[in-house]
Amino acid sequence: MAAHNVKHALFCAVVTLVVAYPILGLNLVAQGTRVGLEGADASTIIIIFLASVAVFAFQLYRDTIMASLSKAPRLNPLAGREPMPQARRVKLESWVLTGIIVLALFWPFFVSRGSVDLATLVLIYVMLALGLNVVVGLAGLLDLGYVAFYAVGAYTFALLSQYMGISFWMALPLGALFAALFGLVLGFPVLRLRGDYLAIVTLGFGEIIRILLNNWTAVTGGPNGIGGIPEPTLFGMEFGRRVKEEGNTSFHDTFGIAYSGEHKVIFLYLIALVLAVITALVIRRLMRMPVGRAWEALREDEIAARSLGLSRTAVKLSAFTIGAFFAGFAGTVFASKQGFISPESFVFLESAIILAIVVLGGMGSQLGVILAAIAVTILPELAREFSDYRMLVFGAAMVLMMVWRPQGLMPMRRTHIELKRQE
Amino acid sequence: MQDLLYFSQQLINGLTIGSTYALIAIGYTMVYGIIGMINFAHGEIYMIGAYTALIAITGLATLGIAWLPLILIVALLCAIIVSSSMGWAVERVAYRPVRGRHRLIPLISAIGMSIFLQNYVHLAQGSRNIGFPALIDGSFRFGSGEGFQMSISYMQITIFITTLICMTVLSLFISRSRIGRACRAVSQDLGMANLLGIDTNRIISATFVIGAALAAVAGLLLGMYYGSVDPLFGFIAGLKAFTAAVLGGIGSIPGAMLGGLILGVAESMTSGYLSGEYKDVVAFSLLILILLFKPTGLLGKPEVEKI
């Protein structure tokens, strides 16, 4: 190896030390009103040094390692196989999806209340991710303020129920439509912007909406949020122990069964499931309709698409509005599930998590996004002791995905016609 | 007279904050000018600079060193070294491998990096905000005893002078030095500069290092000015600085300076005359309005898209 290599490796190792040691190895602690400094425990220091040595070794033998990696046999057993024919793949996929949905329908009756509650949250994220998938994955518009539309949906329901006593079923379309309207109004001016400017502007919009919700105390209750949001009813049947509203009956009385708090949780789960399935199906249809093709065309090559007569504004706006619509859907369900909302739930981090789901699942791929939403929501719950590391891992995963597999874990497959192989 | 004093107070507060925004904005503008990406993690680099400075100051205090200039210089050097290394490493790990791919890919990678760094500091140093000692105390006061008193603190003067020095050094560096000339060449035409024998990879690294060093200076100054740091300290400041860069015309270094000052003054006028809660709204609205009506900013050059 050349001396140049050693120098570079040494430099990298030193940088690793400089980057890691002051932040990880020296901890600031508050001592009364003053601030003191404490060294981290020995194991942290040892890990920092080991990391530095590892970086040195990797950089030193980088070429060799890379060469042997590319020569190593592919672990993926499917790699060498011929791709499944289009028709069979679609058939298989729809069978798998139907199976999952049937399983999801019956599953909540056999598990604990806590896991059904978690599953409802997962479904809300599925809706959000599917909606953002239209904007980011299909239309290629990086929206960093997506959570704003989620907030609009949730707050629409909360405010309407507080001031006008509107029920969940009335609020569901209203929340979604209102969010869509918001998307339309916001989208109109900003969609002329280029990709990265658009990202920053939507981020700004998201923050503005959060700050307004936080400070407009007279209407939104400010940081205290809004409570007492009603739960959904089933044809006028309430799920509480006692009937709250005149003219309604209670679910357990009507069917003559004992009251159980689980009914409500399962009902909410089923609503979320139905809505998530509707979201998936509607978007699946839209993807195959001319408007869906137009989204992808504009994403791939804006100039070519425009010269073929596509209206840039109309196409982008439709994606933006439809994405916002489903976020409003999810927001309404979220408000109903929590019974209480505050601006805390709609911070930028939430947008970043939804974006991470879309990116990890594979931009544009529905199945991938659904699986990623499930994984991203459930994994931190399974490993509670690591929950502090959740966002750290998300951040790292986003970077690594972009470096190694920008198309996501389950990349989108486009519908295409396969030619018969010539014999 | 009272009104005038109040107005000048807001103006001075605004210029103080604005000049630090300008320091951070230069990092955005230089990176954007050269590789056309928004370095979303730049705010975090600035936050890490502030933390390192605080660690250095606390460390020196523990050792019993109390000579102010020494403390400040050591803190500044530590912050610059750590932040620059961070800037270099971030470019190496997260941006270089995705350079030249579709526009959104480096941006998503940058967002991931930003989340990663935020949580890295959060895990290592805790999420609570930590008090930053006020090393430079005292102020000049103007105005009569009863009414509104205008005050210019020594800290504000320090910020002005430091920023001025940094800007001058940077301008000289960009216009006179070899690397500075190479930087300008690369930002005009990366491919051509490469053909002419400029090691563009090194120049891009250098850009990140320079931007990070300036952000570290801003981190030390703003940490002392605000009196506390926390892991989310960089996020909003980064957005503001980006706004400043866009305001002045992204890619233009004098533009970043001008944009920072204008943004700082706009913000402090809002909190002085309207309400402090809405100053972020004003900053973001300003950003949106500029992008809508004059995307090239005040001093930027229009970008011609060729097919």
Instruction: Return the percentage of chain B with pLDDT > 70, whole number.
Output: 96
Residue type, A347: V
Give the count of Cβ contacts less than 8 A between chain A and B.
Answer: 179
Instruction: Output B50 or A85, whichever has higher pLDDT.
Output: B50
Name the residue among B58, B113, B121 with its Cβ closest to that of A35: B58
Residue of B262, B271, B269, B268 whose CA lies nearest to B289: B262
Residue A278 domain-assigned (yes or no): yes
pLDDT(A419) > 80? no
Residue A8 domain-assigned (yes or no): yes
Domain that holds residue A34: 3-71
pLDDT(A77) > 60? no
Q: Pick from A37, A71, A105: which residue ends a domain?
A: A71
Mean pLDDT, chain B, rounded, equals: 86
Six-digit token pair at A108? 């909540």
Residue of B33, B43, B31 whose CA lies nearest to B252: B33
Please report where in the chains the tokens 């704003």 appear, as a residue.
Answer: A148
DSSP string, B35-95: H----TTHHHHHHHHHHHHHHHHHHHHHHT---HHHHHHHHHHHHHHHHHHHHHHHIIIII
Please report where in the chains the tokens 């940088």 appear, as a residue.
Answer: A15
Classify each residue of B261-291 as buried b or exposed e, where b means 16 or more C-beta atoms within 10 Å of its C-beta: bbbbbbbbbbbbeeeeebbbbbbbbbbbebb
| pLDDT confidence of residue A330 | 92
Q: What is the mean pLDDT of residues A119-137?
A: 91
pLDDT(B77) > 90? yes
| pLDDT confidence of residue B283 | 83
Cα–Cα dist A180/A175, whole Å: 9
Q: What is the mean pLDDT of residues A2-9?
A: 78
Pair A62, A101 in one domain: no
Q: List CB contacts (< 8 A) between B116 and chain A.
A: 392, 395-396, 399
Pair A116, A253 in one domain: yes
Q: Please compute, for residue B287, the number of CA atoms within 13 A of its CA located in the half-sphere on the CB side.
A: 30
Q: Are strands A249-250 and A237-238 parallel, antiparallel or unpaired?
A: parallel
Secondary structure of residue A269 in the 3-state scheme: helix
DSSP string, A178-231: HHHHHHHHHHHHHTTS-HHHHHHHHHHHHHHHHHHHHH-HHHH-GGG-B--PPP
Q: Minimum mean pLDDT among A129-133, A319-323, A389-393: which range?
A: A389-393
pLDDT(A17) > 80? yes
Q: What is the mean pLDDT of residues A71-84?
A: 58
| Residue of chain B whose alpha carbon sits nearest to that of A215 | B277
Q: List CB contacts (< 8 A) between A201 and chain B.
A: 287-288, 291
Contact A142 B113 (CB under 8 A): no
pLDDT in tens, A380-401: 777 777 777 888 888 888 888 8
Mutate which of B47, B86, B104, B121 to disrupt the A interface (most A C-beta within 10 Å)?
B104
- Determine contact: B98 vs chain A, CB below 8 A: yes
Pair A250, A195 in one domain: yes
Instruction: Return the percentage of chain B with pLDDT > 90, whole number.
Output: 23
Residue A412 domain-assigned (yes or no): no
Contact B82 A23 (CB under 8 A): yes
Residue of B255, B256, B244 whose CA lies nearest to B283: B244
Which A residues 138-177 touch B at CB under 8 Å? 140, 142, 144
Pair A12, A143 in one domain: no
Q: Which helix (H) or strand (E) holds B34?
A: helix B2-35
Instruction: Output A191 or B39, whichever has higher pLDDT.
Output: B39
pLDDT(B307) > 70? no
Helix, strand, coil % in chain A, rounded to nearest 5: 70, 5, 25
Contacts of A47 (CB under 8 A, 6+ apart): none
Contact A399 B114 (CB under 8 A): no
Instruction: Output A292 or B128, whichever has higher pLDDT.
Output: A292
Q: How confident is the model at residue B50 (pLDDT cuts 50, 70, 90)?
A: very high
Please report where in the chains the tokens 């070519």 appear, as a residue.
Answer: A304
Pair A145, A58 in one domain: no
Instruction: Output A377 or B52, whichever has higher pLDDT.
Output: B52
Pair A152, A213 in one domain: yes
Mean pLDDT, chain A, rounded, equals: 81
Name the residue among B104, B120, B307 with its Cβ closest to that of A303: B307
Residue type, B242: F
Residue A309 domain-assigned (yes or no): yes
Q: List CB contacts (< 8 A) between B239 and chain A.
A: 200, 203-204, 207
CB B226 within 8 Å of CB B236: no
Name the residue among A196, A207, A303 with its Cβ closest to that of B280: A207
Six-digit token pair at B285? 């609205």
Cα–Cα dist A155/A165, whole Å: 14
pLDDT(B153) > 60? yes
Six-digit token pair at A306? 């425009």
Cα–Cα dist A366/A277, whole Å: 11
Pair A98, A210 in one domain: yes
Cα–Cα dist A288/A281, whole Å: 11
Contact A195 B103 (CB under 8 A): yes
pLDDT in tens, B5-30: 888 888 888 898 899 999 999 888 88
pLDDT(A413) > 90? no
Would you say the C-alpha torsion A270, A274, A277, A279 has a positive or negative sign? negative
B40: phi then psi, degrees, rounded to nearest 5: -60, -25
Name the residue among A190, A355, A399 with its Cβ closest to that of B113: A399
Instruction: Output A200 or B165, whichever has higher pLDDT.
Output: B165
A240: which DSSP letter? S
Residue A238 domain-assigned (yes or no): yes
Chain B: give the shortest CA distance to residue A166, in Å.
31
Name the residue among A204, A303, A406 with its Cβ closest to that of B284: A204
Residue type, B61: A
Pair A233, A275 in one domain: yes
| Residue of chain B whose alpha carbon sits nearest to that of A360 | B108
Chain B: give the shortest CA distance to residue A395, in Å.
4
> Measuring CA to CA, how many Å separate A390 from each of A351, A380, B122?
15, 6, 12
Domain holding A382: CATH number?
1.10.3470
Query: What's the CA angle centered on A314, arms A206 and A133, to 5 degrees?
Result: 50
- Determine contact: B83 vs chain A, CB below 8 A: no
| pLDDT confidence of residue B285 | 85
Pair A61, A109 in one domain: no
Cα–Cα dist B91/B209, whole Å: 9
A101: which DSSP letter? H
Cα–Cα dist A79/A97, whole Å: 24
Q: What is the mean pLDDT of residues A321-334?
A: 92
β-strand partners of B139: B153
pLDDT(A24) > 70? yes
Instruction: Output B122 or A224, whichever has higher pLDDT.
Output: B122
Pair A66, A105 in one domain: no
Chain B: give the shortest CA distance to residue A131, in Å.
18
Contact B281 A359 (CB under 8 A): no
pLDDT in tens, A244-282: 666 666 666 666 666 667 777 888 888 889 899 999 889
Six-digit token pair at A366? 């529905």
Cα–Cα dist B132/B220, whole Å: 10
Contact A212 B119 (CB under 8 A): no
pLDDT(A340) > 80? yes
Contact B121 A402 (CB under 8 A): no
pLDDT(A140) > 70? yes
Name the residue among A190, A391, A401 with its Cβ closest to that of B115: A391
DSSP string, A125-145: HHHHHHHHIIIIIIT----TT
Six-digit token pair at A391? 């966002």
Please report where in the chains the tokens 């230069």 appear, as a residue.
Answer: B26
Residue A79 domain-assigned (yes or no): no
Name the residue among A19, A200, A356 with its Cβ closest to that of B82: A19
Residue A409 domain-assigned (yes or no): no
Cα–Cα dist B39/B111, whole Å: 8
Six-digit token pair at B296? 């090239």
| pLDDT confidence of residue A238 | 67
Chain B: give the shortest CA distance to residue A315, in Å.
19
CB atoms within 10 A of CB A58: 14
| pLDDT confidence of residue A130 | 92
pLDDT in tens, B227-252: 888 888 888 888 888 888 888 888 88
| pLDDT confidence of residue A388 | 77
CB atoms within 10 A of CB A75: 6
Q: How confident is the model at residue B290 (pLDDT cuts 50, 70, 90)?
A: confident
Cα–Cα dist B56/B78, whole Å: 7
| pLDDT confidence of residue B206 | 92
- Determine contact: B134 vs chain A, CB below 8 A: no
Q: B94 burial class (0-12, 13-18, 19+ CB within 10 angstroms)?
A: buried
- Determine contact: B142 vs chain A, CB below 8 A: no
Instruction: Return the percentage of chain A with pLDDT > 70, whole number.
Output: 86
Pair A200, A63 in one domain: no
Pair A188, A123 in one domain: yes
| pLDDT confidence of residue B306 | 56
- Determine contact: A203 vs chain B, CB below 8 A: yes
| pLDDT confidence of residue A377 | 84
pLDDT(B147) > 70? no
Q: What is the mean pLDDT of residues B268-286?
A: 82
Six-digit token pair at B60? 């020196």
Cα–Cα dist A118/A124, whole Å: 10
Residue A67 domain-assigned (yes or no): yes
| pLDDT confidence of residue B80 | 94
Cα–Cα dist A304/B161, whole Å: 52
CB atoms within 10 A of CB A375: 15
Q: Which helix (H) or strand (E) holds B141?
A: strand B139-142
Chain B: give the shortest CA distance to residue A14, in Å.
9
Q: Minimum mean pLDDT among A30-34, A123-127, A134-138, B20-24: which range?
A: A30-34
Which A residues 318-357 touch B at CB under 8 Å? 348-349, 352, 355-356
CATH number for the region B13-137+151-293 comes to 1.10.3470
Q: Where are the domains of chain B?
A: 13-137+151-293
Instruction: Output B304 or A10, whichever has higher pLDDT.
Output: A10
Most confidently predicted of A342-356, B115-129, B207-221: B207-221
CB A380 within 8 Å of CB A153: no
Which A residues 65-84 touch B at CB under 8 Å? none
Mutate which of B28, B54, B116 to disrupt the A interface (most A C-beta within 10 Å)?
B116
Query: What is the number of structural domains in chain A?
Result: 2
| pLDDT confidence of residue B78 | 92
Which B residues 152-171 touch A at CB under 8 Å? none
Cα–Cα dist B130/B119, whole Å: 16
Q: What is the mean pLDDT of residues A293-302?
A: 87
Contact B58 A193 (CB under 8 A): no
| pLDDT confidence of residue A144 | 87
Name the residue among A196, A211, A402 with its Cβ closest to that of B112: A402
